[in-house]
Amino acid sequence: MSAPWNRRVSTGFAAAGAAILAGTVFTVGTAAAEPVPEAGTCDADHVCMWEDAGYGGDKWVNWQPSGTGQIFEIGGWNGDNEISSALNRTGYAIMVYADDGAQGDAFCIHAYQPIQNFQEVGFNDEAESLMTKSAC
C-alpha cells in the first residue's frame, strides 16, 4: 500500500491533467464553431463584386445602397479595374461605369441579377464606379 501523501500527489496531478485537457477541448471546440466566410457570399440588400469570375478572389465591393442616384467609387488600389463578377442582391438596378464619378462606358445589372463573368458582358476589369437606378 502506498503512503497517503503519495496518493494525494497522484490525485493532484490527475486533477491538473484533467483541467488542462478540459481547457484544450474547450478551446478547440470554440475555434471550430466560428463561421468561415465563403467565396461568393453576399448579404441581402447588398451589391458585391469580386476580382475573379465565379465570385472568387478578393471581394472589392460590399455596398448596401439606400436609394436611387447613389454613387459608389471602387477604391483605386482595391478593386478599381479589377472586377470580374458581381451579385446584385438589391431592388435597384446597378449601373457599372468604366470611369470614376459614374462616367464613361457603362452597363446595367438588373435588380437581383448575378453576373458570374464580366467577360460575357464585355466589361471585365473595367469597373471604376457604380450608380443605383430604379431600372435598367
Domain ranges of the chain: 1-34, 47-133
pLDDT of residue 29: 36
More confident residue, 90 or 6: 90
Could you report the per-residue pLDDT of 45-91, keeping only the tens digit for each? 999 999 999 999 999 999 999 999 999 999 866 666 789 999 999 99
Mean pLDDT (whole number) for 87-116: 97
Residue 18 above 90 pLDDT? no
C-alpha to C-alpha distance for 114 and 49, rounded to whole angstroms: 10
Q: What's the start-to-end Cα distance of the chain, in Å?
A: 89
Q: For 44, list phi and psi in degrees, rounded to 5.
A: -60, 150
Sequential DSSP letters for 54-100: TTEEEEEEEE---STT-EEEPPTTTTTTT--EEEE-SSSEEEEEEET
More confident residue, 47 or 4: 47
Could you report the per-residue pLDDT of 25-54, keeping only the tens digit for each? 333 333 344 343 455 799 999 999 999 999
Provide the CATH number for the domain formed by 47-133 in this structure. 2.60.20.10
Contact 99, 129 (CB under 8 A): yes
pTM above 0.75, yes or no: no
Could you report the per-residue pLDDT of 124-134, keeping only the tens digit for each? 999 999 999 99
Question: Could you tell me which residues are beta bridge partners of residue 115?
Answer: 86
Q: What is the DSSP letter of 111?
A: T
Which among 60, 44, 129 has a CA at the least distance from the CA of 94? 129
pLDDT of residue 38: 53
Q: What is the DSSP letter of 135?
A: -
